[in-house]
Structure 1
């Protein structure tokens, strides 16, 4: 589990692609590796990776075919910068929102502009994901927890403040670039709950009107 608050950026040192997947080595740079153990999770551009080997300043992980097909990892190259966040602790400050590290799909940058002291980014998603994007709701972009400021059809707008732009890889985005998107996990579970509700006669008492009344949808 993660919060979407990036701890550091790193660089891809090597990618070994195989028919069964890939193995990736990350230069962790300023990320504190002092408490990292084998089997720990580190979100890399929003993708939860399991540490299979590590040094004082790097780590390696295996990447499945599912990850290569669903995320932007299939296009990554050595030298590329990535956002890094270690799994949160029970005692950690919860600064972002609940992030699972399970990417739902890709978003494409369609426009970038400056507004005041911030930058506005418009992104487009597949129509199958647009229902999960809500104005003033949360999304995760390459592992960064962000607030959606407006939604128009299958596009949505993010406002990036200087600190976030400086501490993540967002400043490197260009129009047309595809980035990893994770929707709010609550939206996914609400949808599944409603699907199951429709498929059974034995109701739990939870209805769409109740969810709307209590502010879940």
Structure 2
């Protein structure tokens, strides 16, 4: 679990499409450098969020660490575009003594979005995004939380799908100085994790409705039956 408060920016040192070392697991691996600020208490197997992706440290020293990348992660995220020298946001998993300054972030990226606009507003920057997979659009609401490349941000505005379905965030100067977003340009992709709260509410509503519909004497079925009976009676009385 993470907060979306980036601790430092690391640098991609190696992006191995096939890593035959034991810690690489004979798969894809990435080595991240300039990470000394988050490695003082690191252990093999620790979770570290890289651009919002929860990954497992398989090797580390004082300044760098290695993680393995699964095919599912490659499919869901922008990890395939990480080239040597690219900057990435880093955050350790929360501990008991961490202040919860962002929002509940799992590190389970849902999809990617493309940066479609970037406009200054005072000392802030307004970024606009469009999702690759529109099925996640329903979870993005004005003034709601969203995690973009591992950064906890607040949605300031949402366009209707009929108007392109873009959504926007405002990034203050302090955040600009401590995350990678200002280094990106229009057309670049970012990792998106929508707020888990919306998913939970949707799931509970679906389960409740399915349960109500499946029971003939449920409150919902009783109410629907009464409405139909009242409508039929009104029609017959005319």
User: TM-score, with normalisation over the residues of structure 2?
Assistant: 0.82
> Counterpart of 2:99 in 1: which secondary structure?
coil
Summarize deviations over 1:43-102 as a string: whole Å, max 9, x none.
000000111110011111100000001100012111110000000112210000000000
Deviation at 1:129, TM superposition (A): 1.1
**1:173 corresponds to 2:184:** yes
Determine if the alignment matches structure 1 residue 74 to structure 2 residue 80: yes
Gaps of 5+ in 1: 208-217
Aligned residues, how many?
A: 205
Q: Tell me, in whole angstroms, the C-alpha distance in 1 between the residues paired with 2:130 and 2:184.
A: 14
Relative to its length, the structure with more strand (as a share) is 1
- What is the root-mean-square deviation of aligned Cα atoms in Å? 1.8
Matches of 1:13 and 1:65 in 2, distance apart? Answer: 20
User: Which stretches of structure 1, 4 residues or more, deviate above 6 A after TM superposition?
Assistant: none
SS in 2 for 1:193: helix
Other structure's SS at 1:66 match: helix
Q: State the distance in 1 between where 2:177 and 2:206 align.
A: 41
1:120 paired residue number: 126
Pick aligned residue for 2:171 from 160, 166, 177 = 160
The structure with the greater share of residues assigned to helix is 2
Is the Cα contact below 8 Å between 1:21 and 1:68 reproduced in 2? no
Cα distance in 2 for partners of 1:194, 1:17 equals 42
Q: How far apart, CA to CA, are the structure 2 residues paired with 1:35 and 1:141?
A: 26
Report the 3-state secondary structure (helix = DSSP H, G, I; strand = E; otherwise coil) of the residue aligned with 1:124: strand
Equivalent residue for 1:151? 158
CA distance in 2, matches of 1:167, 1:23: 25
Equivalent in the alignment of 1:211: none
User: 2:113 corresponds to which residue?
Assistant: 107
Matches within 5 A, 1:1-217: 1-18=1-18, 21-125=27-131, 126-153=133-160, 154-201=165-212
Residues 13, 31 of structure 2: 8 Å contact kept: yes
Unpaired stretches in structure 2, ≥5 consecutive residues: 20-25, 221-238
Q: TM-score scaled to structure 1, two decimals?
A: 0.90
Q: State how far apart, in whole Å, the 2-side matches of 1:161 and 1:133 are.
A: 20
Determine which structure has more spread, i.e. the larger CA radius of gyration: 2
